[in-house]
Amino acid sequence: MLAYIARRLLYAIPILIGVNLITFALFFIVNTPDDMARMQLGVKRVTPEAIEKWKTERGYDKPLFVNGKASGAAMLTDTIFFTKSARMFVGDFGRAEDGRDITREIALRMGPSLAIALPTFVLGLFVTVSFALLLAFFRATYLDFWGVVLCVAMMSISGLFYIIGGQYLISKLWRLVPISGYAAGLDAWKFLILPVAIGVISGIGSSTRWYRTIFLEEIGKDYVRTARAKGLSEITVLFRHVLRNALIPILTGVVVVIPLLFMGSLLTESFFGIPGLGSYTIDAINAQDFAVVRAMVFIGSVLYILGLILTDISYTVVDPRIRFDR
Amino acid sequence: MTFMDVLPVLLWSDVLVWLLVLAGLVLGALSWRNLPLRAAWRRVGRSRPGMASATVLVVFVLIGLLDSLHYRPRLENRDPGQPVAYAIEVLSVLDAMASPLRTRNEKTYSGPLATRAYAKESVEVREADGRVSTTRDFPRLKFGGAHLGEAEEKRDADVLQRVLAAEALALAVLGIASLGSACLLARRQGVLARQAWNRLWKGETEFAWNAVLLTLGFLLLVWLPVLALCVDYHVFGTDKVGQDVFYQILKSVRTALVIGLVTTLVTLPVAIMLGILAGYFRGWVDDVIQYLYTTLSSIPGVLLIAAAVLMMQVIIDTHPQWFATAAERADLRLLSLCFILGLTSWTGLCRLLRGETLKLRELEYIQAAQAFGVADLRILLRHILPNLMHIVIIALVMDFSGLVLAEAVLSYIGIGVDPTMISFGTMINNARMELAREPMVWWSLISAFAFMFALVLAANLLADAMRDAFDPRLAGAS
Amino acid sequence: MLGFRAAILLPLLLLAACGNEQNDPYPARERGQNILYSAFTERPKHLDPARSYAEDESVFTAQIYEPPLQYHYLKRPYVLVPGAAAEVPEPAYFDAAGTPLPADAPQGTIAHSVYEIRIRPGIRYQPHPAFAVDGEGRPVYTDLEPSKLAGIETLGDFARTGTRELTADDYIYQIKRLAHPRLHSPIYGTMAAHIVGLKELGETLQREIGKLPDGAWIDLDRYPLEGVERVDRHTYRIKLIGKYPQFRYWLAMPFFAPVPREADRFYSQPGMAEKNLTLDWYPVGTGPFMLVENNPNSRMVLARNPNFHGETYPCEGEEGDRAAGLLADCGKPLPLIDKAVFTREKESVPYWNKFLQGYYDASGISSDSFDQAVRFDVGGGVQISEEMQAKGIRLLTRVRASTFYMGFNFLDPVVGGRDGVSEARARKLRQALSIAIDQEEFISIFLNGRGIAAMNPLPPGIFGHAEGEAGINPVVYDWKDGKAERKPIAVAKKLLAEAGWPNGRDARTGEPLVLNLDTTSGGMGDKSTLDWLTRQFAKLDIQLVVRSTDFNRFQEKIRKGAVQIYFFGWNADYPDPENFFFLLAGPEGKVASGGENSSNYVNPEYDRLFVEMKDMDNTPQRAEIINRMNRILQEDAPWVFGFHSKSYTLAHAWLHNRKPNDVANNILKYQRIDVAERARLRHEWNAPVVWPLVLIGAVLASVAVPAVLAYRRRERGTARNWR
């Protein structure tokens, strides 16, 4: 098992190098170091010398991938790509272009992001699983039919509408919670209710439909019939057998997103003024802060790969027959 | 306007749209010959929600197709003898048909069916004695309800009359259509028209005629009044610069369709090829392809899209000579958005196809074919590919709604379609502040959301019906 | 279903547990305090006075730092008054030999001008750990081991603070910091051309810094600056090259505020920068406020500086200020509030709604987001809706010291008159477009009337601006019935025909005239603006191609002169006509010399007048020259003069002493809040509406009933009902 995880982690390295190559290539076509310098130094009264100085100071005066002037290994190491990306592998993201330490900033913003993402995730899972279980219970009745139609309708509504409409109704018309903002600690709850509720509701449609099919598939299996033939009540069958067995595909399916919860949500965070990682990313894209963008891409990729490994592990945990020893 | 008066313009997205139509027809014909697929299509035809939503989608597609025939109108020659020149504005057949909607611009906001502007303005009134005085009033619209002249109070009666007339027409058309289809059915099945009529409405037909007719009736009842009114009113109001919201909705349809369909189309070949190769050959080919899609899918989607969209924009900006008109620029940006969205979405399909191929190649008849020394390419084309078609079809319809919704979000963030291109996303983006206005301007936002909802809902329902029909696992279960 | 109901009921229970205003975004303990609430949209990048130049940064820096001079809060046009200085300095002039010259000496003879600035004694810094000293007067926090920083995360974690008196050396230290190569001060280039020796200092420091390790501290006191001289503890002199009357305006900006050497040294200790403990993040000043909480992602808090030297509310103002109640606090000690809380609002809808709910006392200074939200009177009057008036909200407007324009690139053959298109033709084309583009309509649609159409580059309030008939642009307007009226479109069409494009077609070849406009997406680049513009060009049958692009690409095109028509705006650095006219001066050409003249416009006569005008004092002769320059510009039409936008503030009834001001930013100290009134109105406006929650609960319950019934039926039924 450990050997397997170690191998998977090693396999992550070429993937991360690939990710970095793509990010650098894309970003440098869009944003030459000159552009970055101008962006950071402002528009008014900027001299070409100031730009050169800025580039040299940050190491952006080197070639991107291959240094033709250097010899030997330095041809590849004395480049923007190598100097900027090698350090990320040891967890040093350096500084944002405005001079602030990125690792610190990420640590600061992780809290608010998780404060939104975690309750949304847990509550959403709970609500959708319950809802799907209900639909499965009432399968082949008009309740099930209209429940599915409701789900399809809900998933056809744009996420923007949920946010805009929710803010308008709950905060503006009914004045029940602050319309946006964030506070640390216990004060946070009143800011979290609305985004979490919107997050849960906008996810109900697609997840419920998916879980319902999983439940129905499980209900169709032989052991469920046997259990029912033994005279167990429908409720007992559903909770004891169907729910427990269907949770395996559901949980293994959602494990992959758990690490990504750290990244926060771009839309929710900027609409509700939550100082998390999602709004950090948006700000960085708008400010063309390459240091932050590449750090976020890197972290996102690491978390995704972590999610894949976790999924594999969760398979072995829930189903001991699966082994990765080969 | 004669044909000579225009210069036809073939935008790249038009080419792809018409190719898509062609491909759809060819694919339909091919799959009709394949027995399991034909059975699946039959099952789709039986599904009432599926057929109802297909009817709705056909209307959207027709609008989109009309909007995919482009031309440049000829400039008016005031002096005879001047050479022929064409405007740089690119119009479509839909624009020509909807030219009253397109050209009748008010100054700024006006509500649905309004005859007066939405906000008071200082109006200069010249008194009888020649003095000029200013009063504040809601100014009369230039076009909205202009046919009423001074008699603005007659608006309600006029609207009601038009709606009633349109509804009557709708019912009449519906009646004729149902009679027609009943007769058709009667001829086919060799029964009496009355029997056919009963079967039709009781849903005892092979094809879900009742759903189609009901949806058609519903569409007629909704659309005909709108069409009857839009000639002289702004049915859904006007936006900030006085453009008709209904016109913008019509234009948005094509953008949504292109994003939803072309994206999958352009990435299908890559996904199919790589998926099959990885699953069939395994070994290092599999490793390379897996590496490729793991790398791509591990980059956070929005960031990848943002970077790629910005990059495309740089390329477009540095080559202004490529484009004769603004429409061509916007079109290339739309297409590049399709490619970029495809870049992030092909990995899922590729993984599915790889898994399915892995299973297929272990089947006995393929093992046997390999043992007999049949060329790999032949095996792939003859045995593997046809057995994957159902996955491809399901992926195509399942992705559609997600892509339409994604476009809105991306345009909202500012990395979507060209800002000059009308789409649901840009409409919502432009209207983002309107809810906060005092008094509130709600019509563009609500109309955009409502039509997007209708499109996506129809697509989702059809996708459901098709998945149920094509997925053999589910088909066996039910 | 259980989860559903819990999700609905939970907030309901929480609601019942608390007081009335459920939507109060601030902690309950802040209620009833003398705190001003406002918002910021962009996170400030720099708070270091040598680096900060953006307006959203000066919202903070201007309250913390005290430059020698400031603008009078109420008087208009803007008047400089002493800030930390004892009086506004008068320059002394010297010729090349160093002999003093009289104040009215001709410009050519002046080699140097010297400003002697006297600081008021007894001014003390805000409490700060950099000043903390032990019993023997030695600083506590110098040469800190990185290990000692272990428990320290913010500035507040240092146990001890101290203060000291402000001296002239602190001002000198900051002027030297402008040349610091690591700081990239945005005005270094400009100031190096004016302050004697600053350029040399910059070069020396650049050399020295190469020898030092990264981030090491340079003691600027060891490097002399020729042009700045310490006279005594409270006096220093700045020596400038030639005559530069605008220099006084610079002395009112945070660039010339004092920075104590201790603070610079304190922050440069190893380990500080990693914790964001920098001058850029935690400013140290002598002003009325100090930054006590710095979280640019969500919240910035300024609190009253306990060591503030004291200043009183002004007793004079312009006409109408007394009636507006702006002089009621005359003579009271400043600041009038204890704290100011700034919350970050990125999206405009929440920002606007919170303002309406009473949780922001006034709109921010650069709150473009409110543009759309407020329904201003289209006729140009300043009025707000009845609902808002009923709430007691006031709208205050003032034309900003800024101008927006659509520029023509003179390097382009068609609009610039080159390569076969004669200058006269191009000029007529530009004039025709100036008439056709209806700025008044633009202002009414897109700015909600918050602006005035520009006649020339100068906005009102700047010396040389003329009102009435004398001030109109005769190329574009006629004076009729006592007001300026845009010439009819027929005039523009005639001009276009004379230019050789009758009805938008080339008279010889018949080719249609196609013009390209470059903009940045967002702002000017959004769809509705572009649609409108296309319609303006279509009035002349000219076809407009809009290329909207991102900001960097736009800048690059401008730099290379690869645009034809472009949109730009300019916010003045200081209220002087020179700061507007230099945007069209030939030597400032963007392509030729990287200056600010993006149109690359060159007119020798204009340039001659500009040189003559720029260093003059505000005399009638200067006004006359300005008039001639304006006539040249109106005739040549290098810009389609757009509009001067109005800055505006929306303020609630409980906020007093607010007066729009776009040149000075240190306005926080003048604001007063009626806390009791605010509490009352907030309470009145924010009663929660609970019935929808009850309704939703009822609907869910009613859905549950058939579900339960169906469940019962199933339980009673036999197993064969199940598949």
Which of A32, A35, A44 best tests the C interface by mutation, with the highest count of C CBs <10 A?
A: A44
HSE (side-chain half, CA atoms, 13 Å) at A108 = 20
Give C510-561 pLDDT, tens digit per residue: 788 888 888 876 554 467 788 888 889 988 888 888 877 777 778 888 888 8
Give C218-271 pLDDT, tens digit per residue: 888 889 999 999 999 999 999 999 888 889 999 999 999 999 999 998 998 888
Together in a domain, A143 and A285 = yes
Together in a domain, A118 and A54 = no
- Decide: C216 and C83 in contact? Cβ < 8 Å: no
C-beta atoms of C510 and B134 within 8 A: no
- Inside any domain, residue A236: yes
Helices (H), chain A: 2-30, 33-41, 48-58, 74-77, 80-86, 102-137, 142-155, 159-166, 189-219, 222-229, 234-236, 244-255, 266-271, 277-287, 290-318
Together in a domain, A171 and A314 = yes
Maximum average pLDDT range among C18-32, C121-135, C199-213:
C121-135
Together in a domain, A181 and A80 = no
- Inside any domain, residue A100: no
* Nearest CB neighbour to A130, from listed C1, C182, C354: C1
Of C284, C324, C19, give the one whose Cα is nearest residue C177.
C284
Residues on chain B touching C535 (C-beta within 8 angstroms): 105
Give C63-85 pLDDT, tens digit per residue: 999 999 999 999 877 889 999 99
C178: Cβ contacts below 8 Å, ≥ 6 apart: C50, C185, C187, C188, C191, C198, C255
Per-residue pLDDT band for B477 (boundaries 50, 70, 90) equals: very low
What does C190-202 look like in DSSP terms, one character per residue? HHHTTBTTHHHHH
A237-241, C90-94, C339-343, C469-473: least confident range: A237-241
SS3 (DSSP) at A56? helix
Q: How far is CA B126 from CA B466, C74, C357, in A?
A: 67, 40, 42
What is residue C378's predicted lDDT score, i.e. its pLDDT? Answer: 44
- Give the pLDDT mean for A62-69: 75
Together in a domain, A46 and A163 = no
What is residue C625's predicted lDDT score, i.e. its pLDDT? Answer: 94
**Identity of residue C527:** K
Give B82-125 pLDDT, tens digit per residue: 677 788 788 899 998 988 888 888 877 888 998 888 877 766 66
Q: Does B433 touch chain A (CB under 8 A)?
A: no
Q: Does B312 touch chain A (CB under 8 A)?
A: no
Together in a domain, A76 and A139 = no
Q: Does A143 touch chain C (CB under 8 A)?
A: yes
Per-residue pLDDT band for C123 (boundaries 50, 70, 90) equals: very high
- Give the pLDDT mean for B235-255: 90
What is residue C717's predicted lDDT score, i.e. its pLDDT? Answer: 60
Find the residue in C nearest to B420 (Cα). C527
* Nearest CB neighbour to C375, from listed B85, B432, B437: B437
Question: Which among A90, A124, A140 is the end of a domain?
Answer: A90
What is residue A50's predicted lDDT score, i.e. its pLDDT? Answer: 74
Measured in degrees and rounded to the nearest 5, phi and psi for residue C514 equal: -115, 125
Rounded distance, CA C308 to CA C337, Å? Answer: 13
Together in a domain, A218 and A115 = yes
Per-residue pLDDT for C366 more than 70?
A: no
A211: Cβ contacts below 8 Å, ≥ 6 apart: A128, A129, A132, A133, A246, A250
Residues on chain B touching A160 (C-beta within 8 angstroms): 408-409, 412, 428
Together in a domain, A32 and A168 = no
What is residue A316's predicted lDDT score, i.e. its pLDDT? Answer: 76
Contacts 24+ apart (CB under 8 A), C672-678: C672/C329, C672/C336, C672/C337, C673/C34, C673/C35, C673/C36, C673/C336, C673/C337, C673/C361, C675/C32, C675/C33, C675/C34, C677/C653, C678/C358, C678/C361, C678/C652, C678/C654
Which residues make beta-bridge pairs with C405? C568, C641
Contacts 24+ apart (CB under 8 A), B360-368: B360/B279, B360/B384, B360/B387, B360/B388, B361/B279, B361/B280
A214: Cβ contacts below 8 Å, ≥ 6 apart: A132, A246, A249, A250
- Inside any domain, residue A153: yes
Together in a domain, A162 and A213 = yes
C-beta atoms of B419 and C547 within 8 A: no
- Give the pLDDT mean for C671-689: 92
Per-residue pLDDT band for B410 (boundaries 50, 70, 90) equals: confident
Per-residue pLDDT for C1 more than 60?
A: no
Residues on chain C touching B426 (C-beta within 8 angstroms): 527
C-beta atoms of B457 and A304 within 8 A: no
- Decide: C111 and C242 in contact? Cβ < 8 Å: yes
Residues on chain A touching B294 (C-beta within 8 angstroms): 15, 305, 308
How close is the nearest chain A Cα to the Cα of C645, in Å? 19
What is residue C554's predicted lDDT score, i.e. its pLDDT? Answer: 82
SS3 (DSSP) at C566? strand
Neighbours of chain B (3+ CB pairs under 8 A): A, C
Residues on chain C touching B438 (C-beta within 8 angstroms): 373-375, 385, 387-388
- Decide: C90 and C84 in contact? Cβ < 8 Å: no
- Inside any domain, residue A69: yes
C-beta atoms of C7 and A200 within 8 A: yes
Per-residue pLDDT band for A323 (boundaries 50, 70, 90) equals: low
Find the residue in B nearest to C388 (Cα). B438
Which residues of chain C from 421 to 460 reach within 8 Å of chain B, CB to CB? 441, 445-446
Together in a domain, A81 and A131 = no
B5 vs C202, residue with greater confidence:
C202
SS3 (DSSP) at C249? helix
- Decide: C639 and C406 in contact? Cβ < 8 Å: yes
Q: Does B450 touch chain A (CB under 8 A)?
A: no
A65-69, C43-47, C107-111, C423-427: least confident range: A65-69
Together in a domain, A171 and A80 = no
Give B286-312 pLDDT, tens digit per residue: 999 989 988 988 888 888 888 888 778
Q: Does B288 touch chain A (CB under 8 A)?
A: no
What is residue C383's predicted lDDT score, i.e. its pLDDT? Answer: 60
How close is the nearest chain A Cα to the Cα of C706, in Å? 9
Rounded distance, CA A243 to CA A237, Å? Answer: 8
Rounded distance, CA A179 to CA C349, Å? Answer: 9
How would you classify the pairing of strands C543-549 and C565-571? unpaired
How close is the nearest chain A Cα to the Cα of B298, in Å? 5
Question: Which among A59, A90, A121 is the end of a domain?
Answer: A90
Which of C294, C352, C552, C699 best tests the A interface by mutation, with the highest count of A CBs <10 A?
A: C552
What is residue C490's predicted lDDT score, i.e. its pLDDT? Answer: 93
Per-residue pLDDT band for B134 (boundaries 50, 70, 90) equals: low
Q: How far is CA B192 from CA B180, B204, C559, in A?
A: 13, 15, 80
Say which DSSP state C253 is in. Answer: S
Number of domains in chain A: 2
Q: Does A293 touch chain B (CB under 8 A)?
A: yes
- Decide: C266 and C130 in contact? Cβ < 8 Å: yes
Per-residue pLDDT for C94 more than 90?
A: yes
* Helices B283-298 and A290-318, packing angle to 10 deg: 120
C-beta atoms of C531 and B241 within 8 A: yes
What is residue B345's predicted lDDT score, i.e. its pLDDT? Answer: 82
Of A201, A308, A214, A211, give the one whose Cα is nearest residue A257.
A308
Query: Can you give chain B as a three-state secondary structure string?
Result: CCHHHEEEECCHHHHHHHHHHHHHHHHHHHHHHCHHHHHHHHHHHHCHHHHHHHHHHHHHHHHHHHCCCEEEEECCCCCCCCCCCECCCCEEHHHHHCHHHHHCCCCCCECCCCCECCCCEEEEEECCCCCEEEEEECCECCCCCHHHCCCHHHHHHHHHHHHHHHHHHHHHHHHHHHHHHHHHHHHHHCCCHHHHHHHHHHCCCCCCHHHHHHHHHHHHHHHHHHHHHHCCCCCCCECCCCCEHHHHHHHHHHHHHHHHHHHHHHHHHHHHHHHHHHHHHCHHHHHHHHHHHHHHHHCCHHHHHHHHHHHHHHHHHHCHHHCCCHHHHHHHHHHHHHHHHHHHHHHHHHHHHHHHHHHHHCCHHHHHHHHCCCCHHHHHHHHHHHHHHHHHHHHHHHHHHHHHHHHHHHHHHCCCCCCCCCCHHHHHHHCCCHHHCCCCCCHHHHHHHHHHHHHHHHHHHHHHHHHHHHCHHHHHHC
Q: Does C160 touch chain A (CB under 8 A)?
A: no
Which residues make beta-bridge pairs with C36? C340
Can you give the residue range of the structural domain that contains A54? Answer: 2-90
How close is the nearest chain A Cα to the Cα of B286, in Å? 15
Diameter of chain C measured on Cα atoms: 116
Cis peptide before C335 (omega within 30 of 0): yes
Helix or strand holding residue C6 (H, E): helix C2-17
How close is the nearest chain B Cα to the Cα of C529, in Å? 8
The per-residue pLDDT of chain B, averaged, comes to 84
C-beta atoms of B241 and C516 within 8 A: no
SS3 (DSSP) at C723? coil
Give A146-171 pLDDT, tens digit per residue: 888 899 899 889 888 899 889 888 88
Of C591, C530, C604, C521, give the one whose Cα is nearest residue C557.
C591
Diameter of chain B measured on Cα atoms: 105
- Inside any domain, residue A8: yes
Query: Residue A160 is part of a domain; what is its CATH number?
Result: 1.10.3720.10
How close is the nearest chain A Cα to the Cα of B104, in Å? 29
**Identity of residue A66:** V
Which of A32, A45, A204, A272 best tests the C interface by mutation, with the highest count of C CBs <10 A?
A: A45
Which residues of chain A from 274 to 313 reach within 8 Å of chain C, CB to CB? 275, 279-280, 283, 288
SS3 (DSSP) at C374? coil
Measured in degrees and rounded to the nearest 5, phi and psi for residue C70 equal: -145, 170
The per-residue pLDDT of chain A, averaged, comes to 83
Say which DSSP state A173 is in. Answer: I
Per-residue pLDDT for C289 more than 90?
A: yes
What is residue B2's predicted lDDT score, i.e. its pLDDT? Answer: 47
Q: Which two tokens stand for residue C104?
A: 């009215």
Question: Which among A61, A90, A119 is the end of a domain?
Answer: A90
* Nearest CB neighbour to A123, from listed C1, C7, C719: C7
> Could you identify the residue written with the tokens 């009033």?
B137
- Inside any domain, residue A38: yes
- Inside any domain, residue A103: no
C135 by Cβ neighbours in 10 Å (0-12 / 13-18 / 19+) ranks as exposed
Of C515, C557, C521, C520, give the one whose Cα is nearest residue C536.
C515
* Nearest CB neighbour to C525, from listed B75, B320, B419: B419
Residues on chain B touching C442 (C-beta within 8 angstroms): none
- Inside any domain, residue A324: no
> Could you identify the residue written with the tokens 């505006």?
C648
How close is the nearest chain B Cα to the Cα of C620, in Å? 37
* Helices B48-66 and B35-46, packing angle to 10 deg: 100
Rounded distance, CA A55 to CA C204, Å? Answer: 20
C722 vs C412, residue with greater confidence:
C412
Would the pTM of this model clear 0.90, i.e. be above it? no
Together in a domain, A161 and A305 = yes
Neighbours of chain A (3+ CB pairs under 8 A): B, C
What is residue C512's predicted lDDT score, i.e. its pLDDT? Answer: 84
How close is the nearest chain C Cα to the Cα of B342, in Å? 23
Find the residue in C nearest to A104 (Cα). C275
Q: Which residues of B180-203 are buried (b: 16+ CB within 10 A; e: fewer)?
A: ebbeebbeeeeeeeeebbebbeee
